[in-house]
Amino acid sequence: MKLEDQLRSLMRKEHYSRKTEEGYVGWYRRYVLWHGKRHPAEMDAPEISAFLTHLAVNKRVAPSTQNQALNAIVFLYRRVLGIEITGIDAQRAKFRKKLPVVLSVEETRELLRGTGPDAVGMVVRLLYGCGLRVSEALRLRVKDLDLSGGKVEVRGGKGGKDRVVTLPKSMNARLREHLERVRQVHLSDREAGASGVYLPYAMAAKNPSAATSWPWFWAFPAKRLSADPRAGGLVRRHHIHEISVSRELDRAVKLARIPKRVTAHTLRHSFATHLVLRGVDIRSVQELLGHSSMKTTEIYVQLARAMRGDVGSPLDDL
């Protein structure tokens, strides 16, 4: 079994996310290629340190990127090769504080005006309306949208944390109509005998029949069935792909003529900043975003102050 296949097999056995798996495999490949395709078992702490220093000095990666590379390599040695690595001494990447891109209220209005009425357009609206990460929005199940209670339950967000956010009232009617269309997709899958949707590993072991149930069906399912590479090529329905959201955003940004680099995360930043502009306390914003540290959330206070013009320029007094 190739080393890459061993790495993938172990990560799948321990239920790592697909993104983490692809990230770790990518760093394994880069590490080996940078050292002239030498086998990792032939290398030790000096080679690892040299690679991590290269990332910091030559590639000028962010600290979080360098940390991910380190975690991937240590996982490879410790868990796959059974080798304990000590004495890693690499130059650390410098932390560069970056302000997030935030849209004004008017820019956000114009952008959302240009989004379509379909499922992808509704995902874009949820990104801003609930401050969701794109992965959180796409992984929503039918049961997570509590239309009667007016809330969205985010399960297994970043760091495996759950949280609850308020569902925008303006989306209630649209989502009801959308879920009726989704129900027809679910029924057609059942009639066709298609395999059920992917389940979190704990639920898959505890209640495998939930995979074909309506509550566990994707709130935003893909249009076509596809093979699941992590389930032996089992044909099932997945959720909408992230690239569909990116394309919809790109189209809406061009239509609104917004001169900023807008990504799905920009809408999350804008959600938080606009809440602060409305006077929502920073602690509540932290809980809605699911941040572990208040320091991560405090940047939106700085952005909101600038947008409000709390500290005026002396130029205006002249």
Looking at the annotation, which residues are catalytic?
133, 158, 265, 268, 291, 300
What is the residue-wise DSSP string for 123-171?
A: HHHHHHHH---HHHHHT-BGGGEETTTTEEEE-S-GGG--EEEEPPGGG
CB within 8 A of 46, min separation 6: which ones?
none
Q: What letters, b where the CB count within 10 A reaches 16 and e where it falls short, cover 177-203?
A: ebbeebeeebeebeeeebbbbbbeeee
Q: What letters, b where the CB count within 10 A reaches 16 and e where it falls short, cover 38-76?
A: eebeebeeebbbebbbebbeeeebeeebbebbbebbebb
Cα–Cα distance measured from residue 274 to residue 28, given in angstroms and rounded to the nearest whole number: 41
- Count the Cβ atoms, other than its own, within 10 Å of residue 109: 11
Residue among 150, 153, 125 at smallest CA distance from 139: 153
What H or E segment, with its residue span, contains residue 78? none
DSSP state of 204: H
CB within 8 A of 114, min separation 6: which ones?
251, 252, 255, 256
DSSP state of 76: I
Residue 29 in tokens? 């490949």
| Torsion angles phi and psi, residue 218, rounded to 5 | -60, 140
